[in-house]
Amino acid sequence: MTSLNALTYISIVALVLVALSVLASSIRIAKEYERGVVFRLGRMIPLKGPGIFFVFPFGIDRVRMVDLRVVTLEVPPQEVITSDNVTVKVNAVIFFQVMDAQSAIIRVYNFAEATSQIAQTTLRAVLGQSSLDELLGSRDKINARLQSIIDGQTEPWGIKVGTVELKDAQLAESMVRALARQAEAEREKRAKIIATDGEFQAAQVLANAAEIISTQPAALALRYMQTLLDMGSNQNSTIVFPIPIELIRPLLAAPVPMHRAAAASEAVPTNGAEPLRVATAKS
């Protein structure tokens, strides 16, 4: 009787342990950012989670947990030949998110690997249609085009590609030197254009000033006088300054000729005598 009771007790304990193990294997907990895709005897049932949920043990239900957070995927460096036949090694980073957990599981074997492969092929295709100048100067447009193409291909998988960013473009050493020479030549060209434009504007101003001065003889004379003053500031130099005929032309064109005017000069002696009057004879 005692052995029978002991056997019964052991059986009950064993049954309890089995029940507890079955219960433990039936309990699943999904975090807030997770969803459980459950296959019951091979057929998919509605999503489970977040929180606690129960499944049938012994292989009746199989659960795949899917993370719904944004995933950062780095695309390995790709050697690309641009449209102007320049070899560039480019890498990129993709930010995507699973929007439909069931589609991400049943429509593609490995959605992360598939997204990476699609990104690599699309990267080579798009950059192969772009020139080096577009790659270096129009990255925003290239990023937007990459995002649109990759997102269109991953949308049936329930994956949303939010952003695609080109990280780095590595050029050959010879191409780097060629770009440096091109940039230097471009800067020299701009400097020459600016200097030539300044000389042209200065010539225009001088031409306008000369035109205004040429209509005003007095202004021309004042300009000559100012030049004399500027040159005479240094007393240790001897300056030969030609007087233009325009400055004395008004004297030559007097209204009364000099040979018809009577000129008289008075000489005042120092001894208080009568002043001596000298008259010029008429011709």
**CATH number (domain holding residue 92):** 3.30.479.30
Query: Quick one: 143 and 95 in the same domain?
Result: yes
What pLDDT does 213 receive? 72
Assigned domain for 7 exists: yes
What pLDDT does 231 receive? 64
What pLDDT does 228 receive? 65
The residue range of the domain holding 11 is: 2-66
- At residue 263 the predicted structure's pLDDT band, cuts being 50, 70 and 90, is very low
What's the whole-model pTM score? 0.60
What are the distances in angstroms from CA 208 to CA 202, 212, 221, 278? Answer: 10, 6, 18, 53
- At residue 24 the predicted structure's pLDDT band, cuts being 50, 70 and 90, is confident
What pLDDT does 274 receive? 44
How many distinct structural domains can be found in the chain? 2
Summary mean pLDDT of the chain: 79
Average pLDDT rounded to a whole number, residues 153-167:
92
Query: Quick one: 152 and 92 in the same domain?
Result: yes
Distance CA 31, CA 264 (A): 126
What are the tens digits of pLDDT across the range 61-110? 999 999 999 999 998 888 888 888 888 889 899 999 999 999 999 999 99
- pLDDT higher at 59 or 244: 59
Assigned domain for 138 exists: yes
Report which residue type is found at 219: A
- pLDDT higher at 10 or 261: 10
Assigned domain for 206 exists: no
What are the distances in angstroms from CA 99 to CA 28, 102, 155, 156, 158? Answer: 22, 9, 9, 11, 5
What are the tens digits of pLDDT across the range 29-56? 999 999 999 999 889 999 898 989 989 8
